[in-house]
Amino acid sequence: MTGPGARPAPAARPDPPVAADGARARLARYAGLAGAVLLAVAGYLGGALPAAPLGTTPVSIWQGRHGPLILGAWLLGTGLLVGAWWSLRRDAPSTGWVYRTAGLWALPLLITAPLGSRDVYSYACQGWAYAHGIDPYANGVAEAGCPWLDTVPSIWQDTPAPYGPLFVLLAALAVLLGGGLTGTVVLLRLVAVGGVLLAALCLPGLARAAGVPTRRAAWLLLACPLVGVHLVAGAHNDAVMIGLLLLGLLVLVRFPGRPRGLVVAGVLLGLAVAVKASAVVVLPFAALAAVLGRYTVRALLRDGGWLAGGVLAALLATSLVSGLGLGWVGGLTHSGDSEQWTSPPTAAGFVVDYAGALLGRKPDAVPVARLVALLLLVAVLAVLWWRAWATLRRLNDARQRVARLAAARPRVTLLGSGLALAATVVLAPVFHPWYATWPLALLAVAATRTTWFVLPCAIASCLTLPDGTNLARFTKAPGAIAMTALLVTLLTLTVTRRLRAPHTPTPAP
């Protein structure tokens, strides 16, 4: 896509020589397929079905009908899928092979029961409430009188919707067209699959712009077990947010400095925020991607202004069309009602509470730890943005700056966006496994090192059972202690490294 005043995108960097031999690639493909089939079987026998009992435990599942088969299929299937994904994280054979393999893995998960979470039933009830004239931002689904209330976990029955107005509209449309709970869930899954397909379409352009092999970027995102289990089978709205986010960033990469392109990109990014507010942390980095030519404050305000106009237009339009105004902002305050050690600040708060209990005190440290983490998140986001800005500014005075800026802009801004989402996931008050797909989508197309974010995604893939049971609920104390110990270790190693090599620049991830 070109036009007057637009710089051509940098030439695609050819993929490095294929390191994966055919036998190993075939083994990974069919091991992953076997894993996906086993997960689908586990979902059919004991997934998050409407009639499945709430509040189950691994023991109650084991003792129930088909219990050993359900848990066995789930554990073996997860192991096969994670292992196959991990084995080719650096050297998948080709981009086309990756798309075919990821599609093959997704097929069994597309036709099984919802897996790993019961959130899709919350979506359905929130859509039902809106479709029947009830404000889902002012009323929980229990108060709204949703006929499918018994499918929603008790912790979410009395909380307002924490999602943006665009997704509420989509959920209500699914209710109206679905004609019942089953039809609604099917349509919500199709909406999520649409988000994944949109992301798949955007991956090659973003990866080429950032100088990352397209086959590696596609493999890391599309073949990730979190995508198949939680975005496809689980029908999480994160898929829609990610698809809109990547499309908006692709438009920015193709049309920097073009007012019309910037407004379109802003609208797409605004729609992503109107699905889940987490996408807002990407906007400051998107403003950097909007600048064409030299990086100056004036250029940032000029081009960023067009982008901001598109974002605001999308948010205002969806708020007005829904008739709900800005009530969705208040719903965000309830997203942290769940307390699990998988959130690092929550885990640290638990450990302080445990220590206080040993001393006969009740410090109630979780809210404090969460507040400190949110303040730290603001500081981290500011530092990440400043470093990206400073990097691009330094290229202003470099020789052949036009070519270097054109080549550096996509990678710097996409990497900054991915790191911002990673910081948001780590420092947020609550963590669910599918949250890891937010940074994964952007780091896959921008990061040169991958293990540091691929490994947490692999671990996160093992944190739930097919019916939505969260294993973190049953490992609260040991999990909190282990997470806090990990945090302390990482902080110690980071500080030690800085002290030993204070003048050595930190390499890009």
Q: If the chain, 509 residues long, is cut into consecutive pieces of 10 residues, what is the mean pLDDT of each piece?
A: 41 46 91 98 95 84 91 97 96 94 97 95 96 93 93 89 94 96 97 98 96 96 98 97 98 93 97 96 96 90 96 95 82 70 94 92 92 96 96 72 69 96 96 97 95 95 94 91 92 82 50
pLDDT given at position 324 = 86
Cα(124)–Cα(171) distance, integer angstroms: 6
pLDDT given at position 14 = 42
Residue 165, SS3 per DSSP? helix
Closest residue by Cα to residue 265 from 233, 303, 310: 310
Contacts of 28 (CB under 8 A, 6+ apart): 20, 84, 87, 88
For residue 266, give Cα distances in angstroms to 20, 143, 277, 282, 300: 39, 36, 15, 11, 14
Cα(321)–Cα(341) distance, integer angstroms: 39
140 CB-contact burial (10 Å; exposed 0-12 / middle 13-18 / buried 19+): buried
Cα(98)–Cα(374) distance, integer angstroms: 37
pLDDT given at position 10 = 43
Q: What pTM was computed for the model?
A: 0.92
For residue 111, give Cα distances in angstroms to 44, 64, 108, 189, 234: 9, 23, 6, 10, 11
Residue 325, SS3 per DSSP? coil
Contact 32, 223 (CB under 8 A): yes
pLDDT given at position 406 = 67
Strand ranges (DSSP E) for 185-265? none
pLDDT given at position 491 = 87
pLDDT given at position 500 = 78
Cα(401)–Cα(131) distance, integer angstroms: 54
Helix locations, 255-343, DSSP H = 259-273, 283-290, 297-322, 327-331
CA 344 to chain centre: 17
Phi, psi dihedral angles at 470 (to 5 degrees): -90, 115
pLDDT given at position 129 = 96
Contacts of 4 (CB under 8 A, 6+ apart): none
Tell me the two tokens of residue 414.
Answer: 């996409």
Phi, psi dihedral angles at 473 (to 5 degrees): -65, -25
pLDDT given at position 283 = 97
Residue 470, SS3 per DSSP? strand
